[in-house]
Structure 1
């Protein structure tokens, strides 16, 4: 964009959408107090949005979607009092959604999806009473859905999918009289469906899949005749389907992987005559079972952890003195019938038959179990000793404690666990992509593992670690980040797994511990100090990031950089292009910038001095930036030059 445009303060219409224009938006655009609308969407603009918007007196529409903007959404946008349409989707914006946006009482459309926004959805959104479309999907938003959304009575479309939202769906959403499309999929919503959802008169499409919603589908859905499309897959729902065409004609993929739905849809079991909608009539003849609500989870786990240690110590003493009298299972799967799921798992894998084993390690073996309702889960059976006691009970407790405190889309979901006299195991979501290590070591899969996917996986892991270090209170240190502990789903989204050696950094406890981790990924300072902090994970992340772009473990390369005595050493003259995975075609110009950036950040993370390593939060911010070059430096840049490169905002 010509910089002279900055001086055209009398412009009333700015529309350069759908081009290939680039430039720093904060430097090349000025103040346009008479502009009616500004459309810069679908270009390559970068930089940060200006903070002062009070001078935009007549602006009604602002579209800057599908660019490379970074930074935060300025609170000053709330001063653009006439704004009706605000579209900032598909950028790299981070931070919280400003509460000041609630001042935009004339707003009709708010689209902030596909960014890196975090924090709660502000309740002030409820002040936008004229809002027609609200899309906040594909971010890192957390907390509850504010019930004040129910005040946006003119809403037609509501999309909050692909976040980390928790708690129940507010009943106020069901009171939106004009809502036609509702998408709350891929969150962590739980509890029962509010009956009000089935009373909506205009709803046509509803997607509640990939959550933790439980119980029976309310009878109110029997009269939701406007509903055309429904997706409730991957929840914990049970009982008969409502008697309307949207459910009765739904494909099985829209209903699969629930606790016990029944009906005439192909793939579901038929409902028996004894099936009841009233959950209070369920049988009480079962093993000791505890439904763990999130609020009570921490308290319960403390009891479990103590019990595990007591049980582990007492088993050996009691096994020879008298017959074992402990015949009950301590088993919990959130919102599931404990006895039923326990028996289903044992039957599904034929009492841990090796043919169902899909992986093994020092901590335990992992099995693939397909439950009767079609849901597939991963079952990690912990190694025990000859007398039945756990070999490493502390690891079992660590994993439960850590994963109960974590809610993030790039961290594997723990469904439940079992402590039994014969075997102890953990139940996780099953990720069909397998481990990153397996993908990289297989030539056939590695050649399909394109550069853009590799960069995306690095970003996924960085975001998850930043969340554990910065957003969890107290912080959680994984201590064993490696390619074998990164699992992939069918869309190559990465999930950190195996929290057996994780450490929760409580401020009132010692951070000194014995060595844990995988050799080749563990930070070098652990050879002489046992102090645990987040910089240990940062080092492991750096090794992992190099492994992703090199296609193999970078052990020899790291050793050569550590042993280099000066910048004149031969390793600093090695070209970056000569160390990346040769099984792939050379990256395109845009891919080259991303690969170069990942390599640059990975090198900073494996800095021998832990104090000089960046934090994971800083890494995430840097991953939103760009190597400053108008030409493709990837073919010619050396490792030494890469270390000296500066990174700029995009």
Structure 2
């Protein structure tokens, strides 16, 4: 043992403190203890292992300060202590590690300033101090580290300016300093840096001119939003051939959007909102066929909305609101079939609402055309947007009536028709029965079911017509009453005859409810179809239930989850409560439930491909999950989580998101299932959740959501965690470090 040169015990379940007598292994060159459960302090005796060139203690729960004796390890090339609970200051003795190439202290509780003498680490390629509590300025000497490839300092309290010599060595690829208090201009060496691959400066107070920025042929991701940057968007951005994300919102950028931006064929996100851009939206933007999110709102853009936007077949989010756009909304928008959200409000659009908007059947989050000058009638085709949750047509010049086809918009949760010239009857739906009057205020003459609107009267041409109509109605009412009484008596007689024969069976099944079906009849069909829930029809089993494939005689397919434990009322009721009012394409649809003495079960929409976990484990099915499908799976999971946390009737915490609970249909659409551990939060009170769910998963907060998504992404793409930069593009949903 005394001659041991390498100790690689990473990715185990070792616990307790790191043994102090490791210092006796004086010939040790590599000590790799990451991804265990070590706690306590880092032994100062490790400083006696003077031959070490790789020390990795990451992903443990180590606490206390970094021992100053680490400064004795002058042969050290890699020092990795990230993802622990280390506190205190960064020892200035680390500046003695002249052979150090990688220093990673990310995600700890370190405080104080960054030591100035880190400038002595001339071989340093990677300096990562993200998500600590560091303050003070970034030492100017860091800008003189010519070999530096990666600099990560986000989510601290750093102030002052960026080091003037950043990227002077021409090696810097990754610069991530977002969410600090940095001020001052961007270094000229950074503006002309051609080696940059990823840069994140968002949410600081930087005030530089970005006009010279754009000549970065290797750049893949850039976010400079929420600063005080100014200048213009250069035509040189077209040289960023590999760019996938460009975010520059909430700055003071002026000038026009260069037409050369249409050459960015890999661009997926373009967000230059909340600036002072003017001129027209270049039609060349239609060439960016990979674009799935386009945000230009809050600028001074003029002219028409380009018809070429219809070429963006992958577009999911389009926001052109709060500009000075004019003309009609082009019908070519119908080709953007993947759109989830369309916002065109606060412009000067005129003409009519295009019928083609009714073709956007995937619109879900929002359709907002408010605060324009749009006239004419509301097209009945909008009733085909059955997934839409929010519709705003207020403050226009719309006339005619609200189309009866709106009764088909079963997912609608919010609608605003106020400040138009609408008249006639409001469609009779449950939503409108409970709708506030403000949704319909300031119109010509609307009437109907909405509380506060007048009832809709049947007009008559004359007094004689009114009298004749009243007499006719009286006769019809009398006849109808007579027929009703006869029918009621007949039905009661038949009911009494059959009641005795089925009373025992009815007592067991009368609590079963399936919307749009007769409960007793469907209950019997489900039991028959599964041979009384035999194992031959079981397609899966979990901690609190088994799932069966049920095909009714009509050919309809259902997934039926039968609860194991009769006394486990809480999870059964919780799942029903969570799913009863949810309407979302990425959450499993609950058709009904049974609660009777012989057992309990829930009836769900059937997902042909089963769980994501099963698809990843199967050789053939895993091959089918190519990159685009896996990316769509991640987005679907993110949309479902966002809906549960922010958009449904009350926030819902699922508490058991795993690949086993992510289901796929034949088209690889995702549905999240198994809400047995879900918790519905009270938005007006304090909430507390205990640890729950599958081992290895936690209830999602903002950070945990990103960790869960990353976990699912990593299982989909089968890459080790150290390459998580592949999935940082998804962090627009939940802000995390780069």
TM-score by length of 2: 0.45
- What residue number does 1:369 align with? 550
Looking at both structures, which has the greater relative contact order when contacts are Cα pairs under 8 Å and sequence separation is at least 6?
1
Q: Do the aligned partners of residues 538 and 52 (structure 1) sit closer, same or farther apart at CA in structure 2, a change above 3 Å counting?
A: closer
SS for the counterpart of 1:618 is coil
- What residue number does 1:105 align with? 351
2:647 to 464, 471, 474: 471
Q: How does 1:258-407 map to 2 (within 5 A)?
A: 327=508, 329-384=510-565, 390-407=566-583
Mapped to 2, the partners of 1:65 and 1:280 lie a distance apart of 58
Deviations 1:455-488 (A, max 9, x none): 1101100110011111124210000001111110
- What residue number does 1:541 align with? 709
Mapped to 2, the partners of 1:601 and 1:280 lie a distance apart of 64
Mapped to 1, the partners of 2:663 and 2:545 lie a distance apart of 16
Does residue 64 in structure 1 map to residue 309 in structure 2?
yes
Q: Do the aligned partners of residues 456 and 464 (structure 1) sit closer, same or farther apart at CA in structure 2, a change above 3 Å counting?
A: same
Q: Which runs of 5+ in 2 are unaligned?
A: 1-232, 239-254, 418-428, 432-486, 497-503
1:422 to 591, 594, 598: 598
SS for the counterpart of 2:630 is helix
How far apart are 1:340 and its partner, in Å?
1.4
Q: Do the aligned partners of residues 86 and 19 (structure 1) sit closer, same or farther apart at CA in structure 2, a change above 3 Å counting?
A: farther
Deviations 1:155-208 (A, max 9, x none): 99x99999944799x9xxxxxxxxxxxxxxxxxx999xxxxxxxxxxxxxxxxx
Mapped to 2, the partners of 1:155 and 1:506 lie a distance apart of 35
How far apart are 1:509 and its partner, in Å?
5.6
How far apart are 1:86 and its partner, in Å?
5.8
Mapped to 2, the partners of 1:382 and 1:282 lie a distance apart of 40
Q: Is the 8 A contact 1:137 1:160 kept in 2?
A: no
Deviations 1:601-636 (A, max 9, x none): 68xxxxxxxxxxx7x9426xx9xxxxxxxxxxxxxx
SS for the counterpart of 2:524 is helix
How far apart are 1:437 and its partner, in Å?
0.8
SS for the counterpart of 2:692 is coil
- What residue number does 2:482 align with? none
Q: Is the 8 A contact 1:126 1:152 kept in 2?
A: no
1:413 to 571, 579, 589: 589
- What residue number does 1:445 align with? 621
Does residue 618 in structure 1 map to residue 734 in structure 2?
yes
- What residue number does 1:519 align with? 695
Aligned residues: 407
RMSD: 5.5
Deviations 1:231-268 (A, max 9, x none): xxxxxxxxxxxxxxxxxxxxxxxxxxxxxxxxxxxxxx
SS for the counterpart of 1:541 is helix
How far apart are 1:550 and its partner, in Å?
1.1
How far apart are 1:90 and its partner, in Å?
3.6
Mapped to 1, the partners of 2:646 and 2:271 lie a distance apart of 30
Greater alpha carbon shift after TM alignment, 375-384 vs 39-48: 39-48
Q: Is the 8 A contact 1:90 1:115 kept in 2?
A: no
Mapped to 2, the partners of 1:425 and 1:452 lie a distance apart of 36
Does residue 43 in structure 1 map to residue 288 in structure 2?
yes
Q: Do the aligned partners of residues 393 and 453 (structure 1) sit closer, same or farther apart at CA in structure 2, a change above 3 Å counting?
A: same
Q: Is the 8 A contact 1:22 1:45 kept in 2?
A: yes
Q: How does 1:59-138 map to 2 (within 5 A)?
A: 59=304, 62-67=307-312, 73-76=319-322, 79-83=324-328, 85=330, 87-88=332-333, 90=336, 97-100=343-346, 103-106=349-352, 108=354, 111=357, 113=360, 118-119=365-366, 127-129=374-376
How far apart are 1:51 and its partner, in Å?
3.6
Mapped to 1, the partners of 2:725 and 2:489 lie a distance apart of 61
Mapped to 2, the partners of 1:86 and 1:39 lie a distance apart of 18
How far apart are 1:597 and its partner, in Å?
3.9
Q: Is the 8 A contact 1:477 1:504 kept in 2?
A: yes
Q: How does 1:541-560 map to 2 (within 5 A)?
A: 541-550=709-718
TM-score by length of 1: 0.50
Q: Is the 8 A contact 2:559 2:606 kept in 1?
A: yes
SS for the counterpart of 1:41 is helix
Q: Do the aligned partners of residues 451 and 137 (structure 1) sit closer, same or farther apart at CA in structure 2, a change above 3 Å counting?
A: farther
- What residue number does 2:27 align with? none
Mapped to 1, the partners of 2:367 and 2:296 lie a distance apart of 21
Mapped to 2, the partners of 1:70 and 1:408 lie a distance apart of 16
Q: Which runs of 5+ in 1 are unaligned?
A: 171-188, 192-278, 288-322, 385-389, 524-531, 552-556, 559-571, 577-594, 603-613, 623-642
Mapped to 2, the partners of 1:69 and 1:326 lie a distance apart of 53
Does residue 503 in structure 1 map to residue 619 in structure 2?
no
Mapped to 1, the partners of 2:237 and 2:707 lie a distance apart of 45
How far apart are 1:150 and its partner, in Å?
14
Mapped to 1, the partners of 2:305 and 2:718 lie a distance apart of 49
Q: Do the aligned partners of residues 406 and 351 (structure 1) sit closer, same or farther apart at CA in structure 2, a change above 3 Å counting?
A: same
Q: Is the 8 A contact 2:306 2:330 kept in 1?
A: yes
Q: Is the 8 A contact 1:85 1:107 kept in 2?
A: no
SS for the counterpart of 1:407 is coil
Mapped to 1, the partners of 2:267 and 2:526 lie a distance apart of 55
Mapped to 1, the partners of 2:603 and 2:272 lie a distance apart of 49
